[in-house]
Amino acid sequence: MSYPVTYYCPHCGAVVEIEREGYLADKSVTPYPLEGWTYADPHDSANASYESVDGIRFVCGEMPPESGVGQTETGIRWTGDQSNADDVENPTMTSPCDRTFYLSFVRFENGNEIEPQPDTDQVRIASDTAGPSKPNGPTSPDGPGGFRR
């Protein structure tokens, strides 16, 4: 059975309530998609149960389109509240802020929980260097020959 769960926008703190299945476990709410996760539009009633996706892509404050499908049927409701949690990026910005954020469920593969790839900042740094796995730390003074590409 489904029941209402609330989340908040990591940008501005706008609180959203959705109806979802109780067996799904939350992993995180992030301002960017996790690598390898598949996200559903919360307004797509075909995905209302979220059974075949790994997460939900929200647009902060976005209401369902006027197509005869009510909020109660799509299971999403912006409560009008604003979270004052410490990790809200900009609690003083206009809310809702129309920016995108992502709710990710816990994923399992062969019984093990899948960890997401590093966040987008680290991915960008890695792709800018010649060695994709080279750490971005300081050069070790006692490295072998100090050779770096």
Q: Give kind and range of the element (H or E) at residue 56.
A: strand 55-59
Smaller CB separation from Zn ion, 14 or 34: 14
* CA-based nearest residue to 97, from 30, 13, 39: 13
9: contact with Zn ion by CB under 5 A: yes
11: contact with Zn ion by CB under 5 A: yes
Give CA–CA dist 130/58, Å, rounded: 35
- Least distance in Å: CB of 94 to Zn ion? 9
Strands (E), 9-147: 14-21, 26-30, 39-40, 55-59, 76-82, 100-105, 108-109, 112-113
34: contact with Zn ion by CB under 5 A: no
Q: What is the total count of residues that contact Zn ion (CB under 5 A)?
A: 7
40: contact with Zn ion by CB under 5 A: no
Smaller CB separation from Zn ion, 74 or 83: 83
The residues binding Zn ion (CB under 5 A) are 9, 11-12, 14, 60, 96-97
